[in-house]
Amino acid sequence: MGTTRKVAVIVGSLRKGSFNRMTAKALAALAPAGLQLEIVEIGQLALYNEDDDHDAPPPAWVAFRERVRGADAVLFVTPEYNRSVPGVLKNALDVGSRPYGHSA
């Protein structure tokens, strides 16, 4: 038996009818055996503030970091907003990349 590789899929759009979410779901359905794609939600993440990341970070941050750490890879499925990444995705990157030296 082969090893199953887990891929954390981060969708950069929160819109219900998002083409990006539909694409992410289609990719998960089409993934070959041995590849498990799972969407990691980012809409519940509070805006990153380093002051909140010391003694007891918000539970949503902890859960997000644990899910990303548990993956073998991360796939971003995201739209472009104003020639950049969506703010919600940037916030998720900030949450996942902190605290310094302990990024997920």
Instruction: Report the pLDDT value the prediction gives residue 19, as an integer from 0 to 100.
Output: 95
- Does CATH number 3.90.226.10 belong to domain 5-96? no
Tens digits of per-residue pLDDT, 38-96?
Answer: 999 999 999 999 999 988 999 999 999 999 999 999 999 999 888 899 999 999 999 99
pLDDT reported for residue 1: 58
At 16 the pLDDT is 87
At residue 103, the 3 state secondary structure works out as coil
> Does the pTM of the predicted model rise above 0.95?
no
Tokens for 57? 């970070």
Q: Where are the domains of the chain?
A: 5-96
Please report, as a single letter, which amino acid is at residue 71.
Answer: A
Single-letter code of the amino acid located at 35: L
In this predicted model, what pLDDT tens digit does every residue of 26-42 receive, in sequence order? 999 999 999 999 999 99
